[in-house]
Amino acid sequence: MNIAVVGSGYVGLVAGACLAELGHNVILVDNDQRKLAALKNGQCPIHEEFLPELLQRHRGKRLEFTSDLGEAVRRSQAIFIAVGTPPKNDGDADLSYVESVAKGIAGAIDSYKVIVEKSTVPVYTNSWIRKVMILNGAPEELFDVASNPEFLREGEAVTDFLYPDRIVVGADCDRCALILERIYQPLVEGSYYERPDAIPGPATGSFAARLIRASTKSAELIKHASNAFLAMKISFINAVASVCEAVDADVKQVCEGIGSDSRIGQRFLYPGIGYGGSCFPKDLLAFRAVARESGCLFGLLDETVRVNEEQRIRFLRKVRKALWTLKGKRLGVLGLAFKNGTDDVRESPAIAIIKALLKEGCSITAYDPAAMERAAEEFAPEGITFASDPYEALEGADACLVLTEWEDFAALDPARMKSLLRYPIVVDGRNLFDPSAMEAAGLNYYSIGRADVVVDHRSTHKTESSLEIGKSDWDIA
């Protein structure tokens, strides 16, 4: 089929490349001329596994790039809207970009089209897109609007698209639904997975994606409710981790116990410094706004947000506990992206924590395998130092802070870390390291939901109390 995808951000670019991979002819539309020039030259603007390979495979063949929305609409049977929906001050989603695209489509429509919401939008957006298009001259019989929410994890977006848990098609008429079903036919029938050049994914043996047909309003709610539930699961385990610390339990053991229940599962039961990124924070606020406007009390969403914000404050308390005072301290930070596998720093808890530490008078040397260029834009006024590798970030630092769960960091040598640090202190916001290994290396180790490891460097055994100024590490100097 001939498909237009409007917007070349994370969702639009991945969707466009993957739809081309399924055999469709895709026109990717964006008004950012610099980004279009980079894409036409074969550059991949985001860090995403397998995406550079797909762009290289289909660029100039099944995938082209343009700023001409009207031409793309006229040449396409389906138009996917994948533009940003940032939060407004009241938490509601800003749909002005969606409205602008709808107006542009209305002015160019010349035959029957399916307009597909791919952006994450609140319920009733489908109805508003239809109203806007009719008000701007689009004949009612020449289009239908469908909802096809994305469920992509940054860092794993390509495999999530091609090996989905489910494909949700929100359509209120059969004609519209059949076109979307045809678009995803290679995944639903399983023919894509038989191809020798198929992108490798998590499925083994025969696999076929599940397609769920729903109304447009139900599909819109499925997306917001899914993200709200996952954010709630993260906040829940972080609250449990706080209880573990208070009663001297091990949150890792607790996670294993409750995650073994098939009704709960292990996924997203990873305590840390809280969720971030471009989806969870804004989607939770938008869903909360929808509930409020609908007259529904949904206090659970408020508490999810509160626990997430509190988790960053709790981590800063851990840093103070390890170092006593923060002014003048030099800190080696590992991780800037909001999660591993991506260069995205939007709403990253790592960035928020670093900014708080800079306000306290700390100096920061940071390393991230993918996100340093994007993070540099966040710190232009304050300024931090970027290292060329993890060990360089730790050299001469008063403490090491782990803020993103990159596998590269988990493989670091604790003994070498200790030799580089001024004081043997690691504050791990992602529970990447084994406490016993850190103790064996002589490191004071503070993590989430687990007992502190505080080494008495005079007797090299673990002490019961926290680091006491003047009795242990500071005597090293």
Measure the CA–CA gap between 468 and 454, rounded to whole angstroms.
9
How many C-beta neighbours within 10 Å does residue 64 have?
A: 19
Measure the CA–CA gap between 42 and 52, rounded to whole angstroms.
8
**Cα Dmax for the chain:** 82
Residue-wise DSSP of 360-400 = TT-EEEEE-TTTHHHHHHHTTTT--EE-SSHHHHHTT-SEE
Sheet (strand 2-6) strand order? 63-66, 25-29, 2-6, 78-81, 113-117, 143-147, 167-170, 211-214
Burial of 353 (0-12, 13-18, 19+ CB in 10 A): buried
Q: Which of 159, 73, 78, 154 is nearest to 118 (CA)?
A: 78
Measure the CA–CA gap between 228 and 279, rounded to whole angstroms.
10
Say if strands 2-6 and 25-29 run parallel, antiparallel, or are unpaired: parallel
Phi, psi of 269, rounded to the nearest 5 degrees: -95, 60
Q: Which helix (H) or strand (E) holds 283?
A: helix 280-293
Tell me which residue has tokens 């009704």: 263
Burial of 70 (0-12, 13-18, 19+ CB in 10 A): middle
Collapsing DSSP states into helix, strand and coil, what is residue 211? strand
For the chain, helix (H) and strand (E) counts, in that order, are 19, 16
Please list, in sequence order, all residues whose beta carbon lies within 8 angstroms of the beta carbon of residue 257, skipping any fewer than 6 positions away. Answer: none
Q: Which of 279, 296, 362, 400 is catalytic?
A: 279
244 as an active site residue: the answer is no
Say if strands 78-81 and 63-66 run parallel, antiparallel, or are unpaired: unpaired
19 near 2, Cβ under 8 Å? no
Helix axes 125-135, 96-108, angle to 10 degrees: 40
Phi, psi of 293, rounded to the nearest 5 degrees: -65, -25
Q: What residues are annotated to the active site? A: 279
